[in-house]
A = this chain, B = another copy of it.
Amino acid sequence: MVHDLLLAAAYVSDAQYSRNVPFETSPQTIRLYYFYNHWTMRAATNFFIFVDLSLALFEEPALFPLPFLATSIAEVLCLTAFFGRLIHFAKVTPQTVFWKDTKNICIMVTIVLTLVDLIVYGSLEAINIHSVRWSRALRPVFLINFPESRQIRRAFRSIRNTLPDILYVFLLFMFNMLIFSLMALKLFGDRGLKTVEGSPYFTNILEIIFDLYVLVTTANSPDVMMPAYDFNRWYSLYFITYIIINTYIFMSVFLAVVYNNYRKHLKNEIRKLVYLKHYKMVEAFNLLKVKVGAEFVVKEAEWRRLTKVVVPDISSSHLELLLRISDEGQKGHVDKTNFLRLADLLNIQVITISVRRHPLEAWMPRVYKSSVSLFIQKVVQHRIFVWIYDAIILLNAIFIALDEKNPFISYAEWLFLSLYVIEILLKLYTYEPKAYFGRKQFWNWFDTLIIIAALVATVANATIQSARKYNSQQILDIVLVLRILRLLRVIISIQRFRVIVTTLINIGPTILTFGGLVLVVYYTFAIIGMEVFQGKVRFFDPNVTTPDALVCGNPALKDAAFARDRYCKNNFNDLAASFVVLIELTVVNQWHIIAEGFSLVTHPTAKLYFIFFHIVVVILIVNIFIAFILEAFFVAY
């Protein structure tokens, strides 16, 4: 009986969290499965994934260099943890299922490959031969393939499903680009035209193809047109046609195809999830059902025990509420239809709004209920109170914009801070604190935290300042940012703004999923970029103007736009710098200058790295992101 209960609770819990893990049903395995799903085990796995990914910060080219021995020991530790987690999973799930799941195979293969790489690299290093730590690019495999990363995997599946459809559009787009390249070669190649930099204009077909690909991203518009346009104004028609077809129509079609697939895929996933949930709940029901009259039901006592196993820390009032919903007729048992709803019911957040008395009222009722106190409470609750504080915030904004070297203005800052603190104290005096800081009271939390943070930072800064007679730059920056973030409070007063922001906050978790997806792709590209481009471009202090500093330490960049625009710090010399470069490439503008720079210091084929990045990140991932925002806003608005 206890075994059945545990098994049923595992099913319900799986349904609640939409887990899709087939597990063996022997008593011992179920306990193992509970342990597998325990938050400590999941946290440990996430911790090791985090450590494993972070290693790139400490390995050559390092942001914080550590010896190879230290990072390799850490990596072996992580691999051991991953292997342990996998073994644990293998004990829980049936053998045949385990070996059929590509996720598990992926993890195992990656562990073995990483070990091989570590051994080979370490041995070569021992005899002073420097080789490439290629297995580092595989690390995101762990992030993707552990069952916890369901969301990221779903996003990847969505991309994979889009590929066949997008492929033909992409081929047609490429074909069209080639036709236009050929036309450009024939129309402009023999004219003897020169670009602004004085190099020959449209004479080499490969360079033309690259230039026209860049034009699709608009990054070299209108520069790429100017020589031809200066020569003859009619030639602008060529470029305008090209931009209309390839930038406007084709890029919109890419978005349309991605969006269309995203919607289809989303529908399928939701259908699958619903089916799975239903199936698991039926299994749980079948374990616990007893026959009452003509139908099978679950007895109330059994139902209580089950729910307590699934959610050990459920409050008794919550439990009673769920029971009242599930056993509408108060018959002492839950029928099948109501039982199946349990997983969904558990996912509904219950907010207990109890009309509690203010603690001060309980503590000193006479004072709190006095006419002065009541008047204060009435004032605070009045609209004008909000308006006055909005005016104060606007005044504050003006003071911030003014020069703060003026001591008067610097004192005003303390005045504003105290006004804000007084506001929060007044609100806490008027409203019941537990209700004011309720779970869903996002804006109250935001308000209070910003003020407290600003207060702490300002006090800290003042202390340091008076103690050491100088400003701490970091703290001063934080104080500044917090002081300005306070102005965001104006949003609260405007209903329409609050609706938009709430919508954005609600889709926040999914935006984080995209963060994970982007992290995975960035990480792989960053590792490859670091292996290929590290040290080729160096950053010198902006004040240094030696010839070497002007070409980012690489003579190949002489006369290159990369050096002229002072992009030396856009390099792949450590993980953080690489990520910044990849973000710049995602933003797209000037990406061709960066691509050109890195191809000058290595080889022209290096441009393929940047083109491939553009296709993967901008055409696929950014479009999926836009599709997601569109869909989220259609549902919310």
Residues of A within 8 A of B (CB): 168-169, 171-172, 175, 179, 182-183, 185-187, 194, 196, 205, 218-223, 226-227, 229-231, 233, 236, 240, 243, 247-249, 252-253, 255-257, 259-260, 397, 400-401, 404, 477, 480-481, 483-485, 487-488, 490-491, 496-497, 500-501, 504, 511, 539, 542, 564-567, 569-570, 576-577, 580, 583-584, 587-590, 622, 625-626, 629-630, 632-634, 637
Contact = CB atoms under 8 A, between A and B. Distances in A.
Contacts of A221: 584, 587, 589-590
A188 to B, nearest CB: 10
A260 B168 contact: no
A223 B565 CA distance: 7
Contacts of A589: 218-222, 589
Nearest to A171: B497
Contacts of A626: 252, 255
A629 B249 contact: yes
Contacts of A404: 186
A260 B185 contact: no
A617 to B, nearest CB: 12
A566 B488 CA distance: 42
B630 A401 contact: no
A497 B170 CA distance: 10
Given A243-B587, A252-B630, A168 B497 contact: yes
Contacts of A504: 249, 253
A637 B257 contact: yes
Contacts of A226: 565-567, 569-570
Contact of A172 (B233, B484, B497, B542): B497
Given A401-B185, A497-B172, A542-B227, A587 B481 contact: no
A179 B633 contact: no
A498 to B, nearest CB: 10
Contacts of A248: 622, 625
Given A229-B569, A566-B196, A186 B630 contact: no
A222 B590 contact: yes
A570 B186 contact: no
B168 A500 contact: yes
Contacts of A567: 222, 226
Given A218-B587, A222-B589, 12 more contacts: A168-B500, A175-B491, A182-B484, A183-B484, A185-B401, A187-B477, A196-B566, A229-B580, A233-B576, A240-B580, A256-B629, A256-B634
B222 A584 contact: yes
A629 B229 contact: no
A5 B480 CA distance: 79
Contacts of A539: 230
Given A196-B566, A588-B218, A252 B625 contact: yes
B223 A590 contact: yes
Contact of A484 (B186, B480, B500): B186
A632 B179 CA distance: 26
A440 to B, nearest CB: 21
B183 A480 contact: yes
Contacts of A622: 248
Contacts of A230: 539, 542, 566, 569
Contacts of A194: 542
A196 B566 CA distance: 7
A496 B183 CA distance: 24
Nearest to A630: B256
Contact of A580 (B231, B236, B584, B590): B236
A349 to B, nearest CB: 25
Contacts of A253: 500, 504, 629, 633
Given A172-B491, A260-B634, A633-B257, A182 B400 contact: yes
A580 B249 CA distance: 19
B477 A172 contact: no
A202 to B, nearest CB: 13
Contacts of A186: 400, 404, 480, 483-484
A218 B383 CA distance: 40
Sort A-B residue pairs by CB-CB distance and give the 10 closest, nearest first: A256-B633, A252-B629, A168-B496, A218-B589, A221-B589, A222-B584, A186-B480, A221-B587, A256-B630, A183-B484
Contacts of A231: 542
A285 B171 CA distance: 53
13 contacts: A179-B485, A182-B401, A183-B481, A185-B401, A186-B484, A205-B401, A221-B589, A222-B587, A233-B580, A249-B629, A253-B629, A255-B626, A256-B630
A566 B201 CA distance: 15
A187 B404 CA distance: 12
Contacts of A637: 256-257, 260
Contact of A500 (B172, B485, B566): B172
Given A253-B633, A589-B220, A629-B253, A583 B179 contact: no
A204 to B, nearest CB: 11
Given A219-B589, A257-B637, A169 B229 contact: no
A391 to B, nearest CB: 16
Contacts of A577: 233
A256 B259 CA distance: 12
A381 B439 CA distance: 73
Contacts of A218: 587-589
A226 B577 CA distance: 12
Contacts of A196: 564-566
